[in-house]
Structure formats: C-alpha cells, structure tokens
Amino acid sequence: MPTPAKPVKVLGVIPARLASTRLQHKVLRHILGEPLLAWVHRAASACSQLDRIIIAADSEEVMALCAESGFEAILTSPDLPSGSDRLFAVAQQVPAEIYVNIQGDEPLLEPAHITALLEPFSKPDVEVTTLKVRCAPDEINNPNAVKVVTAPDGRALYFSRATIPFHRDSGADTIYFKHLGLYAYRSAALSHFAALAPTPLELAERLEQLRLLENNINLYVTETPHDTIGVDTEEDLARVEAIIKSRIK
C-alpha cells in the first residue's frame, strides 16, 4: 500500500481560468512580452513562505503554457464555478496545512501580500485570512471595489459592494477599506467552506466570502499598504502594463 504524501506546510495555488467572461484568455494575454500568468507566478515564487506553488488550470492551453514555462500545474474541471472550488480541487490531490488562494489575474501581486496574509496564522484559532487596503477616493462609491469593515481584532464584520460604513453625517473622517481577493485557509477550514451551500447574502452581493460569515466562520483581515489591480478588461491590461513599465524604469 503506497505511503500517503506528506503535507507541505504552505501551498500556494493560482487558479487560472481561460474562459473569463469580460476578457477572454486573459491569463495568456501578454504584458511586456510575457503572459499575465507568468507575472503572477514570479511574484508568488519570490515569497519564501510558500513551500510549493501549483497552478490550477481549467484548459489544455493553460497546461501547455505551464509545461513550456516550467510551472507545476494541475488540470481542474472547466465547470468549477469559482477560484475557491479550483483551490479545493487541488487540495484533494495535494495535502497541505495551509492553502493560499492567489488570484491568477493580479500581476501586481507582491511577496509582501502573501506575508501579510499568513501573519495571523501564528494564532492557532485563526482559520481563514484575507487582505484589505485603504480605499482610494475614486473607489469608495464604486461597486466593483468591494469594501470591508472589521472588528478591532481584525475579524471581518461584513463585505459589501455598497459604501460601508455609511457615515450618516459628513463622513469626512471615515476611513474606507477595499478588500483584496487573496485568501489563506487551514486545511479543515477549506474543506468546511467547500461543503457549504451558497448563502443568501453571498448571492445578493455576489461575494462568496460572505458564505463564511453567514456560517459563523471567522475571517481575519490584515491591512497591507500595497494595492493591486485585477485584470478584467482591456483598459485594466493597459493600465497594469504602464505601471509595470514605470517600475522597471
């Protein structure tokens, strides 16, 4: 009987979905001559706290890119509805203590994001973590920029596409935080989350992290000074390329 694989401590998983709706084949689109996915993988690889990185592909095209680039990859079903489902599919094959869900469409990812994401796990009662950044003024009322409010100990109280908190008077002194969609799960928490059905608030806001809150699973949020840009449109792609080009200069 074969010996079960020994779990790695921290596994980074990059869900890479080819069939994106707003920007087709976006993970294969080039930024300064390299596929978007390669920029994400490079940033993740620079984080020494990740013991292993796997790309959760949904197509043979993404698998071919990974083979050509030397990236470890697992082919997952194209019918999986979310990156979290793709993360769980990898977890069924590769045991780990902590799984980090790294968005495959955020080429401005930095190793510091992952370090901040993993920081709360020094406390044994922390099951799931995510990130927040101070919300830029032009994003406060933008429903595509998801806002988060937290308790003093960092526990998420709510996520919304609406402007929260709502300041009844002027709001001049209110600090708004934008949610960054990276997550880290202890193995048991990921299995628990994957077994739960979508919840009413999740369906209303179209935010799957609300499934955790509605099922009384604490989600701890760490602040980072580093914002990111998720690439969903041609405009996002051009904007990211300009930023990376300026950083190289």
4-60 per-position pLDDT tens digit: 566 689 999 999 988 776 788 889 999 999 999 999 999 999 999 999 999 999 999
Q: Is residue 88 within 8 Å of 77, Cβ to Cβ?
A: no
Tell me how far apart the alpha carbons of residues 124 and 121 are, in angstroms, rounded to a whole number: 6
* Average pLDDT rounded to a whole number, residues 95-109: 94
Q: Which residue has the tokens 């940033």?
A: 43
Quote the pLDDT of residue 22: 72
**3-state DSSP: the chain helix, strand, coil percent, rounded to 5?**
35, 25, 45
Tell me how far apart the alpha carbons of residues 155 and 158 are, in angstroms, rounded to a whole number: 9
User: Which of 90-94, 115-119, 166-170 has the lowest average pLDDT?
Assistant: 166-170
Quote the pLDDT of residue 70: 96
HSE-up of residue 114 (Cα within 13 Å, Cβ side): 29
CATH fold of 8-109 reads Spore Coat Polysaccharide Biosynthesis Protein SpsA; Chain A (3.90.550)
Q: Which CATH class is domain 112-227?
A: alpha beta
pTM here? 0.92
- Domain ranges for the chain: 8-109, 112-227
Tell me how far apart the alpha carbons of residues 53 and 218 are, in angstroms, rounded to a whole number: 26
Tell me how far apart the alpha carbons of residues 127 and 218 are, in angstroms, rounded to a whole number: 7
Tokens of 5: 């694989």
Average pLDDT score, the chain:
92
> Does the pLDDT value for residue 171 go beyond 80?
no
Percent of the chain with pLDDT over 70: 96
